[in-house]
Structure 1
């Protein structure tokens, strides 16, 4: 992923319970880091979960892919760069780079997401329109 002006940066401490028996970060922790970073970006953009609930919609992940590049070891932090990509359909994509403290790319996480109408149990069309309306800083989500 090439980082651009729409990438949001989040630093997360690597905790001892994120490690596996080999001393490196275990797979599920990468997903936790990615989820945490997405929510940090949404909060920074001014999106409040209560406002989603008021509209009877909620975010859903439909697919997530992790590509591991290097070991991430104990100590320090991991930096997550999150970039939202929008299309014309019912889904969007979040591409995230996870980097070690020295800047080395350790993993990439790509997610396909949508907004679920919680009454109809169907994805809403044009989810970017909803996020843009909910966000006070939609540019952090790659929306102008």
Structure 2
């Protein structure tokens, strides 16, 4: 998937003038949704299939400041295993190429009726996405 580029908004800033922690999570979530849509498995398809993505654990590593007027580019790497969860590592860079953060998330796919994780999320995405390669699936 092509990287996603966003502009830092003034309401993303804390009192020190740099991007606050929760904004990094919003950037990462936005990039994941854009990728899911591009892969042909966006919100409408997930709703129709009765499932929804869930974050089970998220870690942010702050590496450099991101400030008002900056543009941030997010790249996402999907790591699939054989269990109910996967990992998505997202790297955020300023327009000058400096790495500003890494967001790492353990994710699952929740069956909204059973309220349990789908046993093979990679299989679900392979079956339903029109372009599963964008999600790191062959």
Give the distance between the partners of 1:143 and 1:36, measured in 2 at CA. Answer: 20
Give the distance between the partners of 2:85 and 2:21, measured in 1 at CA. Answer: 25
Residue 20 (structure 1) shift:
0.8
Give the structure 1 partner of residue 75 of structure 2: 81
Give the distance between the partners of 1:23 and 1:17, measured in 2 at CA. Answer: 10
| Within-5 A mapping of 1:23-42 | 23-42=17-36
Residue 8 (structure 1) shift:
4.1
Give the structure 2 partner of residue 15 of structure 1: 9
CA contact (8 A) 1:56 1:119 kept: yes
Give the structure 1 partner of residue 123 of structure 2: 129
CA contact (8 A) 2:89 2:103 kept: yes
Give the distance between the partners of 1:43 and 1:95, measured in 2 at CA. Answer: 18
CA contact (8 A) 1:77 1:100 kept: yes
CA contact (8 A) 2:64 2:100 kept: yes
Give the distance between the partners of 2:7 and 2:106, measured in 1 at CA. Answer: 25
Residue 115 (structure 1) shift:
0.6
Aligned residues: 138
Residue 56 (structure 1) shift:
1.1
Give the distance between the partners of 1:70 and 1:79, measured in 2 at CA. Answer: 14
Residue 50 (structure 1) shift:
1.7
1:9-53 CA distance string (max 9 Å, x none): 100111111111111111110000000011111111111312211
Structure 2 residue runs of 5 or longer lacking an equivalent are: none
- What is the CA RMSD across the aligned residues, in angstroms? 1.0
